[in-house]
Amino acid sequence: MQQSGQSTAQKQEKNHSHHLHPFSDNGALKEEGARIIESAQGVYLYDSDGNQILDGMAGLWCVNIGYGRQELVEAACHQMKELPYYNTFFKTTHNPAIQLAEKLAEITPEHMNHVFFTGSGSECNDTVLRMVRHYWATKDQPAKQVIISRENAYHGSTVAGASLGGMKPMHKQGGLPIPGIVHIQQPYWFGEGGDLSPEAFGLKAAQALDEKILELGEDKVAAFIAEPIQGAGGVIVPPSTYWPEIKRILNKYDILLVVDEVICGFGRTGEWFGSDYYGLKPDLMPMAKGMSSGYLPIGGVMVSDRVASVVQAGGDFNHGFTYSGHPTAAAVALENIKILQNENIIEKAKTETGPYLQKRWAELADHPLVGETRGVGMVAALEITNNKEARTRFDDEGTAGTICRDFCFKNGLVMRAVGDTMIISPPLIISHAEIDELVTKAQKCLDLTMEYFK
Ligand code: PLP
């Protein structure tokens, strides 16, 4: 298909000449060429060759209301005419920031009534690092500096975000993590549970938090950060014993709980927030992605009354971003949340489409290549294995996942591979028929992957 008089190959050539991509082997792009997505509607993407592709990842876990909603276009257009930009530094605000902050206080857990706006999830976690240390310093406990996170966690790509994250390939580049951040075991039963039952392993993984606090000293530990369900790590749904034990441990100590809702927030689990799903009471809650369904970049750290009152009493907080509370992005986020509310999208994900997706997805567990399926609401994973009982991988771990993912692209489905874990996180508005299409295509691509290994 020709667009603007240029073929796909010509665009790829220009792209390679001038564009360095995030999380990509930029050298390999010369040979392979970038995929060029030109438009989207509902749950479907359309590429520069006219292929229709079911977006099983909602972009990067963010297009919760689906593509093509005119209301968001109009909200942006209206706000751009009125006030396209102004900042919120130096005690200034504007209508979209006021209205969005009020709306976020309404939909987040009851004890959270303030938001610190950012432009992204990574900026949220930079804010978290600075705010928790500022909190303890204001409370005359400046030694409480260390933040405990988990191996294989993803909390963003800025220096603080990637340090809080526990991804070894990210740490390798740029000398991370920065000091004052430590990592404990993740609750990944399929990969790390060994002979333990999932429940016993969940307890063990949670107790690593207790051990780490005792090792460091409670007076040194500022906060524990975790996603309710690890997304980019491979949709790691913790065993049922994990979060209750983490809550029990945190109750013993004076340590803040940071629940990273960048993926789980705004309906992904079938509840507004992952914290609602697991009954967590966060002190800070980073949010982004689904806040605007990705239509414009915006994020925010939701702050509990306990922390907000200290920040309010703590004098100048010397932190912020040019785009904190960007009016156009805030107006779009507000409209997105209205759509989620007015169309009961999250309620439907909880009671109709989520259960249907999980039921159909679980059928893939019968496939000879699948060692486990798991999921909650509108997010799910499956593990590719060469031995279901032993939970082992094909040689060259990660190759099978990449092969399966490439078959998916060729067959009109975006499914992501994290090593040999295949993951999905479709738009929340996906229909039953589209779920059927997703599962049928996933099944076909698993078959093709199996053929490949024969
Ligand atoms: N936190 C989590 C849990 C994420 O999944 C992500 C991104 O995927 C981030 C933070 C970083 O968000 P951003 O890419 O908007 O900086």
Q: What is the pLDDT of residues 171-193, one digit of tens each?
A: 999 899 999 999 999 999 999 99
Closest ligand 1 atom to residue 289 Cα is 15
Q: CA-CA distance, 180 to 145, in Å (whole number)?
A: 6
Q: Indicate if the pLDDT at residue 5 is higher than 90.
A: no
- Measured from the CB, is residue 301 less than 6 Å from ligand 1? no
Ligand 1: residue whose CA is nearest its atom 12: 121
Confidence tier at 363 by pLDDT (50, 70, 90)? very high
Tell me how far the alpha carbon of residue 290 lies from the centroid of ligand 1, in angstroms.
Answer: 11
- DSSP-derived 3-state class of residue 53: strand
Ligand 1: residue whose CA is nearest its atom 7: 156
Angle at the Cα of 241 from the Cα atoms of 188 and 265, rounded to 5 degrees: 70
**Mean pLDDT estimate for the chain:** 97
Amino acid at 144: K
Q: CA-CA distance, 424 to 404, in Å (whole number)?
A: 13
Q: Indicate if the pLDDT at residue 451 is higher than 90.
A: yes
Closest ligand 1 atom to residue 264 Cα is 3
Tell me how far the alpha carbon of residue 124 lies from the centroid of ligand 1, in angstroms.
Answer: 9
Write down the pLDDT at residue 390.
95
Ligand 1: residue whose CA is nearest its atom 13: 121
- What does the DSSP 8-state code read for residue 3? B
Lowest mean pLDDT among 45-49, 161-165, 254-258, 391-395: 391-395
Angle at the Cα of 111 from the Cα atoms of 91 and 61, rounded to 5 degrees: 85
- What does the DSSP 8-state code read for residue 143? T
Probe residue for ligand 1, chosen from 126, 266, 268, 289 as the CB with the greatest number of ligand atoms within 8 Å: 289
Mean pLDDT of 307-314: 97
Tell me how far the alpha carbon of residue 395 lies from the centroid of ligand 1, in angstroms.
Answer: 30
Q: Indicate if the pLDDT at residue 376 is higher than 90.
A: yes
Mean pLDDT of 281-300: 98
Q: Indicate if the pLDDT at residue 208 is higher than 70.
A: yes
- Measured from the CB, is residue 126 less than 6 Å from ligand 1? no
Three-state secondary structure of 247-316 = HHHHHHCCCEEEECCCCCCCCCCCCCCHHHHHCCCCCEEEECHHHCCCCCCCEEEEEEHHHHHHHHHCCC
Mean pLDDT of 134-162: 98
Write down the pLDDT at residue 319.
98
Tell me how far the alpha carbon of residue 121 lies from the centroid of ligand 1, in angstroms.
Answer: 4
Which residue matches tokens 């000449």?
A: 17
The pLDDT tens digits of the residues spanning 260-290 come to: 999 999 999 999 999 999 999 999 999 999 9
Q: Indicate if the pLDDT at residue 155 is higher than 90.
A: yes
Closest ligand 1 atom to residue 261 Cα is 3
Tell me how far the alpha carbon of residue 376 lies from the centroid of ligand 1, in angstroms.
Answer: 19
Confidence tier at 4 by pLDDT (50, 70, 90)? low
List 299's β-bridge partners, or say none.
118
Write down the pLDDT at residue 454.
86
Probe residue for ligand 1, chosen from 118, 125, 155, 227 as the CB with the greatest number of ligand atoms within 8 Å: 155
- Measured from the CB, is residue 231 less than 6 Å from ligand 1? yes
Closest ligand 1 atom to residue 153 Cα is 3
Closest ligand 1 atom to residue 231 Cα is 5
Write down the pLDDT at residue 58.
98
The pLDDT tens digits of the residues spanning 315-339 come to: 999 999 999 999 999 999 999 999 9
Q: Sign of torsion, CA 366 188 290 273?
A: positive
Does this model's pTM top 0.90? yes
Which residue matches tokens 């785009």?
A: 323
Asked if 237 contacts 280 with a C-beta cutoff of 8 angstroms, the reply is: no
- Which pairs from 70-74 meet CB under 8 Å and 24+ separation? 71/335, 71/338, 71/339, 72/292, 72/293, 72/295, 72/332, 72/335, 72/336, 72/339, 74/335
Among 436, 412, 424, smallest CA distance to 356 is for 436
Q: CA-CA distance, 449 to 391, in Å (whole number)?
A: 17
